[in-house]
Amino acid sequence: MSEALPGVPSVPPSGPPRDASAVILFRRVVGGVEVFWLEREAKLAFAGGFFAFPGGKVDKTDGSFIVAAAREVFEETGVLFVRETVAQSRLDALRREVLDEKIEFNAMLKRESLTLRAEAFHEAGRWITPPYLPRGFDARFFLAEAPSDQHASVWKGELADGAWITPADALKRWEAGTALLHPPNLHAIRCMNAFVDVPSAARALSNAPFLTSGFIAERIEFQRGVMLFPLQTPTLPPATHTSCYVLGTGECIVIDPGSPDDAEVDRLVAFLEQLKPEGLKPIAIVLTHHHGDHLGGVERLVKRTGLPVWAHARTADRCPVPVARLLSDGEVIELNGPLKMKWDVLHTPGHARGHLTFVDQATRAAIVGDMVAGIGTIVIDPPEGEMAEYLKQLARLNDLPVRTIYPAHGPVLPDGPAKLHEYAMHRAWREAKVLEAIESFGAAGAELSDVVPKAYDDVASFIWPIAERNTVAIVEKLANEKKIVLSGTRVTKR
């Protein structure tokens, strides 16, 4: 949401990343190769709604990254890398047994007297999940050619779908915003698009550009022309980062350089420099709204780059640097480049009076600032915040509709409308709880601070100071709708 609030303890970061394996499964076809990719169910906590290669965390019983890789491929696609030939019906039965946890993968191989073809797995890079995401994996990638006598197929469950696809077609879908890719998977598909032979492909896969010495991707482009650059910011827990976005494939805009830390802004400047050889040229800094965790680095970024700042008038009046262009609802930001982009500007007040949302005309991707969060919650804090207006703007985004939602905090949300619906339902439920809490005090009424523990009995008490701000927003809405009486901080049922 906004600045960190006093009295709110920070949430300790989650544990160290967990070991994981992933397999770039491929087969040769006329004119090149095809890879087998999977669409992850949107509701999954990690990478839900994204396309990925078979893989998952290393189990204790696996004993090695390669065994984990072989097991994951078997569970998710049915392809078993063993020396022996196994009939399809037998493979299906064994897969069912392993998936149902009737037997461990290694134990199954032993019982069936099958020998794993470990040499079929070629090392193809290492990637560690960036710290801005709530779940961390330390993943080893392997390149493996599918045995020609076996059939890859997905059994629905945690995977929505899976299919063989040429790397060129996969890249087209990524460009259209209909197949979101995490950096390792985008890199893999690009490498496989240039496939000549296994050794050179494995080499290219292991030498990813924009990878730190800590194996963390510095370039995150879930769809073409939408780059995410997480910056550490003093924001509201459990979020620890603000996602700065760089939009465009030629001309670029930089949205929400939120970190007040000079070193973080300098890291962003270095990133923008690295993009220049590809023809990416920033033309402006754009702000979604005035909160510190969104414009904290704007002064430094202007000083370092000389870029002009664009924002809504109600953000400009609280911006520490002059705003060169005032943006208002209905405008279009056109960005020239190999993939020309047109971003619709929407004025979406409610969280902040000058809040803007940007929607790509071609893919309906939406940069939503603090309208929706991938992690934590959005606080509507009066008098800046206005609940009825906020709900109206959420509904507007839903009606467009938007597709992928890119929030300022937490993971990207591939199914935008589902998230917006969830928000609307949750807000309505909370409003009902607040109304019910007020009514429980009868004709005497109550102080707002007494309403909060009842209306928010489902959250930890350290959240209540923030919840009280939201409650003010809700009671103001209820009072305007003549459902309660509000005088000062006292509320009474009607």
Closer residue to Zn ion (CB): 291 or 312: 291
The rounded distance, in Å, linking the Cα atoms of 372 and 285 is 21
Minimum gap (Å) between residue 296 Cβ and Zn ion? 11
- Check if the beta carbon of residue 363 is closer than 8 Å to that of residue 172: no
Closer residue to Zn ion (CB): 62 or 370: 370
Q: Cβ contacts of residue 315 below 8 Å, gap of 6+?
A: 287, 289, 290, 295, 323, 352, 354, 355, 356
- Check if the beta carbon of residue 332 is closer than 8 Å to that of residue 323: no
**What's the token pair of residue 41?**
């169910």
- Check if the beta carbon of residue 222 is closer than 8 Å to that of residue 176: no
Closer residue to Zn ion (CB): 294 or 403: 294
The rounded distance, in Å, linking the Cα atoms of 378 and 352 is 11
Burial of 103 (0-12, 13-18, 19+ CB in 10 A): middle
**What's the token pair of residue 210?**
């924009």
Q: How far apart are the first and last CA of the chain?
A: 32
Closer residue to Zn ion (CB): 165 or 420: 420
The rounded distance, in Å, linking the Cα atoms of 300 and 231 is 14
Beta bridge partners of 226: 223, 247
In the DSSP assignment, the letter for residue 355 is -
Minimum gap (Å) between residue 231 Cβ and Zn ion? 14
Minimum gap (Å) between residue 388 Cβ and Zn ion? 18
Closer residue to Zn ion (CB): 177 or 349: 349
Minimum gap (Å) between residue 292 Cβ and Zn ion? 8
Beta bridge partners of 481: none
Query: For residue 425, how many other CB atoms are within 10 A of its CB?
Result: 10
The rounded distance, in Å, linking the Cα atoms of 355 and 80 is 52
Closer residue to Zn ion (CB): 182 or 289: 289
* Torsion over CA: 195, 197, 200, 206 (sign): positive
Closer residue to Zn ion (CB): 94 or 420: 420
Closer residue to Zn ion (CB): 17 or 407: 407
Closer residue to Zn ion (CB): 120 or 352: 352
Minimum gap (Å) between residue 5 Cβ and Zn ion? 12
The 3-class SS string of 140-189 reads EEEEEECCCCCCCCCCCCCEEEEEEECHHHHHHHHHCCCCEECHHHHHHH
The rounded distance, in Å, linking the Cα atoms of 205 and 217 is 13
Binding site for Zn ion (CB under 5 A): 1-2, 291, 370
Closer residue to Zn ion (CB): 188 or 295: 295
Angular region, 125: left φ>0, alpha ψ -120 to 50, beta rest: left
Closer residue to Zn ion (CB): 2 or 240: 2
Closer residue to Zn ion (CB): 252 or 405: 405
Minimum gap (Å) between residue 30 Cβ and Zn ion? 53
CA distances from 198 to 127, 183, 205, 248 (A): 20, 21, 10, 33
- Check if the beta carbon of residue 467 is closer than 8 Å to that of residue 452: yes
The rounded distance, in Å, linking the Cα atoms of 357 and 99 is 43
Minimum gap (Å) between residue 311 Cβ and Zn ion? 13
Minimum gap (Å) between residue 379 Cβ and Zn ion? 8
What single string gives the DSSP state of each residue in 175-231?
Answer: HTTSSEE-HHHHHHHHHHHT---HHHHHHHHHS-TTB-TTSBBS-EEEETTEEEEEE
- The closest residue (CB) to Zn ion is 291
